[in-house]
Structure 1
């Protein structure tokens, strides 16, 4: 046995044996049909995940920039009516939509003759209008996050399924060939494990992106709610000031 290992003829034959091609494309081509379908599905899911990631990065940055610009105008001391005329008809970002909802409800209530603008009913309608708008705008911003939340936990198990199936197929081929050398075993096992690698490459970005975007959108939702609260307080003060002014005018007219 020791002489066999030292035989230069055997060593030369082993060195001359071609190495198995373990490139990603070769692993895909030689994989079993079920494993190929798993790999194709994971690649499609990965492309979809990255498309959502890039879309959310652009959308969140654009939305934040528009909110900053709008708040600068809102707190600049200009007329709320002028701001509503500029953004109220067709609001093009969430904060303008919240402002439009509150201001629109306040104007509709003001048109009703004899309605006390400082009453709790008016305040509740304005707050409800802005709250509904916040919910609707956040649902629009959170679109496709469900995909990230689903792909993240599921992709590794899909890849694991492909791996288990591939290993079963590799063992069946080994049993048929009656050859258990590493050169025969390695390609089949590598093809199977490649499915798990694809599952992890798909899942990791999805999980990280979902947590990151969820945090950013939660902060933005709190920002919208804070703006709605401040805007409601401004409208309430204006209503009370308008009523006080009307009462003062009435007293002066009586005198």
Structure 2
């Protein structure tokens, strides 16, 4: 009797479990198989052609960005260090002739040294090599114009490749957004074609679309930060170079003392 009661209870429990379990779903313990996980690398490899092109462009932008950041950092650091050494030599020199005789080979990375060389060469040309000869007002104005043009050229040289950083920083997010929009559009097309809005159908498309946005931000954020940093450094040097150009012209007017 007790055995029959236990069998009835077991049959009732099994019937209840079968009723609760949704139709078409496999038992959780069947085969012990875990649900398939999405792999970002596989999503990129199996992405649509337009999304792959967007990712390649953004990857190229990121590589170029870091190359420019590294090269420009070395450029500005050398210019700053050599300029500090040159300005000490310039301030301690008794005359422009004495500084020129020391040689400028030790200050090759300094834009100030090149500005000085330009102004000094023009002063020597106007005085025909006569030391200590003062310049008249017209000659002094001409030397000042020469040194200011040299300073402007040095500023342009310091700003080289910075426009590329600005371009990457401003365009990379929009290129990534294009990849995102295309990926989401592709996801909706898959829903319409398969007549199914299940998550396994939509998730891979949306995930690869969001990867494009993420890579776009990865390329843009360092570019914008580096551009602002370098622009501030170049601006600091530009202010000093403009005053230095006027200083060289004024000393040339006094005969290079």
> Shorter chain as normaliser: what TM range?
0.7 to 0.9
User: Would you say 1:47 and 2:63 are equivalent positions?
Assistant: yes
Partner of 1:196: 213
- Does residue 21 (structure 1) correspond to residue 38 (structure 2)? The answer is yes
Instruction: Measure, in 2, the Cα distance between the counterparts of 1:128 and 1:54.
Output: 34
Pick from 149, 170, 175 the counterpart of residue 132 of structure 1.
Answer: 149
Structure 2: distance between partners of 1:189 and 1:96: 56
Higher percent of residues as helix: 1
> Is the alpha carbon distance of 1:10 and 1:81 closer, same or farther for their aligned partners in structure 2, counting shifts above 3 Å?
same
Range with greater deviation from structure 2 (225-234 or 155-164): 225-234
Q: 1:152 to 1:53 in 2, by over 3 A?
A: same
What RMSD in Å do the two structures reach over aligned CA positions?
A: 2.7
Q: What is the correspondence of 1:105-254 to structure 2 with a 5 Å cutoff? A: 105-111=122-128, 117-238=134-255
- Of residues 162-171 and 2-11 in structure 1, the stretch that sits farther from structure 2 once superposed is 2-11
Aligned position for 1:95: 112
User: Tell me, what secondary structure is at the counterpart of 1:96?
Assistant: helix
Distance, in Å, in 1 between the alignment partners of 2:211 and 2:31 is 26
SS of 1:62's partner is helix
Distance 2:200 2:31 in 1: 11
TM-score, structure 2 normalization = 0.83
Choose 1 or 2 for highest CA Rg: 2
Structure 1, unaligned stretches of length 5 or more?
A: 242-255
Q: 1:44 to 1:73 in 2, by over 3 A?
A: same
In the other structure, the counterpart of 1:248 is none
Q: Which runs of 5+ in 2 are unaligned?
A: 1-17
Deviation at 1:117, TM superposition (A): 3.6
TM-score by length of 1: 0.83
In the superposition, relative to structure 1, how do residues 15 and 123 fare at CA in structure 2: closer, same or farther (>3 Å)?
farther
